[in-house]
Structure 1
Amino acid sequence: MKTESEIISKLKQHSSLTPSKWRENAEWRITNKSWLRYSQMIAMMMLDKMEELGLTQKAVAERMGCSQQYISRVLKGTENLSIETIAKIESALDLQILDSVAIAR
């Protein structure tokens, strides 16, 4: 049976050299909970519509005049979207987001 110091030594060998950002990420999610819920709902609506239309992130980005990387961030559901961006998403995917979000609330 291993001693406590052997176990601690083994654990230290496998620990990360960089500190975990778990706490900061959790606090950020709690602080931004209200708008994150909407962002996640919009991301799900986008993903459903993209699947229905057979569109890739790149195709949506072209329709919106932005980068594929930005679309990727939006689809993660953690992007704080402006009304202008929401309007562009609605136009690019023929969606009614603002009406749907207001009804869902």
Structure 2
Amino acid sequence: MNTVTEKMPCRALETAPQLVETGQDKRNWSQCSRAIAAVMSRRMSELGLTQRMLAERMDCTQQYISKVLKGQKNMSLETLCKIENALDIEIIKDLDENGQ
């Protein structure tokens, strides 16, 4: 039989269940997401940017920005980099300095 699981090393199969998020993982993600949204919102105010203007800078929709600012999106590193570039900030550094 020629299946993907037969070709995978045993260690990869053993670690797969660990990818499931626990309740604590979800809480931590939610807290971080809200903190990122707060940093973004402050910076947008400083720059006088609307959600639509930020969306144009990031090449995404205003609806996506709205969800990010509500803390409802699990953002990729690529998205975080786009936000940092569009707002000229360092989100991860700011979170660390604020004890997040």
Could you state the TM-score of these two structures normalised by the residue count of structure 2?
A: 0.71
Q: Distance in 1 between matches of 2:46 and 2:56?
A: 18
Mark the runs of 5 or more structure 2 residues left unpaired by the alignment.
1-22
Which residue of the partner structure matches residue 61 of structure 1?
A: 55
* CA deviation string 1:44-78 (max 9, x = no partner): 01110111111000000000010000000000012
Instruction: Evaluate the alpha carbon distance shift between residue 52 and residue 43 of structure 1 in structure 2; reply closer, same or farther with a 3 A threshold.
Output: same
Which residue of the partner structure matches residue 36 of structure 1?
A: 30
Which residue of the partner structure matches residue 101 of structure 1?
A: 95
Which residue of the partner structure matches residue 12 of structure 1?
A: none
Question: How far 1:101 sits from its partner (Å)?
Answer: 2.2
Mark the runs of 5 or more structure 1 residues left unpaired by the alignment.
1-28
Question: How far 1:98 sits from its partner (Å)?
Answer: 1.3
Question: How far 1:32 sits from its partner (Å)?
Answer: 1.3
Alignment of 1:1-105 (within 5 A): 32-103=26-97, 104-105=99-100
Give the CA RMSD over aligned residues: 1.6
Could you state the TM-score of these two structures normalised by the residue count of structure 1?
A: 0.68
Q: Distance in 2 between matches of 1:101 and 1:80?
A: 16
Question: How far 1:31 sits from its partner (Å)?
Answer: 6.0
Larger Rg: 1
**Structure 1 residue ranges (4+ consecutive) displaced by more than 4 angstroms after TM superposition:** none
